[in-house]
Amino acid sequence: MKKILIIDDEKDILDSLSSLLVDEGFSVFKAMDGKNGLSIFKQEKPDIVLLDIWMPEMDGLEVLREIKRFDEHSIIIVISGHGTISTAVEAVKMGAYDFLEKPLFFDKVIEVITRAIAGEPHHRAEVGGVTIGKSKGPHIIQQKTIGKSTVVYGVGLHSGVKTGMILLPMPDYTGIVFEHVPDGERIPAFIDYVYSVGYASSVKGRNCIVRTIEHLLAACHMYGITNLLVKVSEEIPIGDGSAMEICQKMDEAGIVEQQGGIEPLRIAEKVQLAPLSNGQYLSIEPSDHLEIDYLLEHPKPIGIQHYHFEGDKDVFVRDIAPARTFGFIKDFERLAKMGLGSGGRIDNVIILSDEEAINTTLRFEDEFVRHKILDLIGDIYLLNRPIIGKIIAKQTGHLENIALVKELKKRFFR
């Protein structure tokens, strides 16, 4: 029988949660303050600790630190009635397995406990009715998740708000799912939930929005990650404007192959968007692997840039992931009037004048076209499966990328 220790100064929560967990077959121990909780932990060595953050005298983060000092492998799930992404990120960075917000929903509590004990849950979480379907074709590849929880700090490019995100392993057939903190709503990273495009790709649930998801999805696409829970507030942190930090965090967490399989979308016929304006072009055609041919034409200092990408995760990490978001000073002035772009800083975006990059040295001579490919790799992963085909693009952005994904869904997912 698995042991669970609940440390919470709210007696009603302590008693009701304890009763429900006992009914589920757990042996439950209770403590109403941190010091008593530490004493019970050392004596009983529970398999799981449910730990409230906000307690008098000794708060939950102090208790977390002490438990980890005593047993670094302990599994601690932090709970809070005043959830913020900064608190969640700090707790996970200190070693917590996951973070739950009050009011607690019993199904979600059981899901997290089961996932923590078993490594992967025996059932998948409800995420709005969209999951990866079981594949029956001849070209199955293994589904993947990350090996352990990891966190990313930063600011939102368009909100300018200090933020962070927690990446957590999820079971096969779950898909990539965003969980809004503190609301708790879960939003699948799927084309049906795309809310706004243009300056960034975003998804929207019933009540919540998660913005600027393209760099994270690009890394997931090239690492082959098909199942992931992303806890975040309103916007994915921009990092240095590229996907490099996300890739580094995925490398640190490790990639785990799962039992379930998934069939990539193999393009069998050419699909071209209807004639676009201003010389834009976007199509996808058959190929035996993912490749992207992109032509970017802009006035100075960008000029004409052409890049052909094909390769595996290592090629992506070396040649595409480091390419940063860019924009002209006049663009940021316009975005500011729209309430966007306030997180653009000298260390997380390439700022251009009419003559040159004014705040940084370029990582590649053609960094701008490489970043366009980075965004495209992320956007096309909104079908929740890898794409096998050759994409040819000219002058396109998020708006056209999403239009292509919608067309692919209409043609191949009837």
Please report, in angstroms and rounded to a whole number, the separation of the first and last CA atoms in the chain. Answer: 46
- The DSSP code for 64 is H
Alpha helical stretches, state H, 45-78: 60-70
Among 202, 179, 180, which residue's Cα sits nearest to residue 191?
202
Contact 267, 285 (CB under 8 A): yes
Among 43, 24, 204, which residue's Cα sits nearest to residue 112?
24
Q: Look up residue 215 and give its two tokens.
A: 């760099």
Q: Look up residue 163 and give its two tokens.
A: 């933020």
Catalytic residue among 158, 215, 221, 398: 398
Query: What is the four-CA torsion angle of 236, 80, 175, 401, rounded to 10 degrees?
Result: -20
The pLDDT assigned to 81 comes to: 73
d(CA 304, CA 366): 9
**For the chain, which residues score pLDDT lower than 70?**
82-83, 119-138, 156-162, 196-198, 330-347, 414
Contact 101, 181 (CB under 8 A): yes
Place of tokens 């042991």: 3
Q: May I ask the CATH architecture of the domain 3-118?
A: 3-Layer(aba) Sandwich (3.40)
The pLDDT assigned to 103 comes to: 80
The pLDDT assigned to 290 comes to: 97
Q: Look up residue 232 and give its two tokens.
A: 């975040």
Question: Catalytic site residue 123?
Answer: no
Among 205, 184, 185, 181, which residue's Cα sits nearest to residue 193?
205
Per-residue pLDDT of 139-181, as tens digits, reads: 789 999 999 989 888 775 545 556 789 999 999 999 999 999 8
d(CA 298, CA 47): 58
Exposed / middle / buried, residue 360 (Cβ in 10 Å: 0-12, 13-18, 19+): middle
- Which segments of the chain belong to CATH 3.30.230.20? 141-262
The pLDDT assigned to 340 comes to: 41
- Which segments of the chain belong to CATH 3.30.1700.10? 265-412
Exposed / middle / buried, residue 97 (Cβ in 10 Å: 0-12, 13-18, 19+): buried
d(CA 159, CA 165): 15
Q: Where are the beta strands (DSSP E) in 33-157?
A: 48-52, 76-80, 98-101, 141-146, 150-155
CATH 3.30.1700.10 fits 265-412, yes or no: yes
The pLDDT assigned to 338 comes to: 44
pTM value is 0.82
Place of tokens 């000092």: 69
Q: Domain 141-262: give its CATH code.
A: 3.30.230.20
Beta-bridged to residue 164, according to DSSP, are: 153
Per-residue pLDDT of 356-386, as tens digits, reads: 888 889 999 999 999 999 999 999 999 989 9
- Which segments of the chain belong to CATH 3.40.50.2300? 3-118
Among 108, 75, 190, 95, which residue's Cα sits nearest to residue 151?
95
Q: Fill in the amino acid letter for 191.
A: I
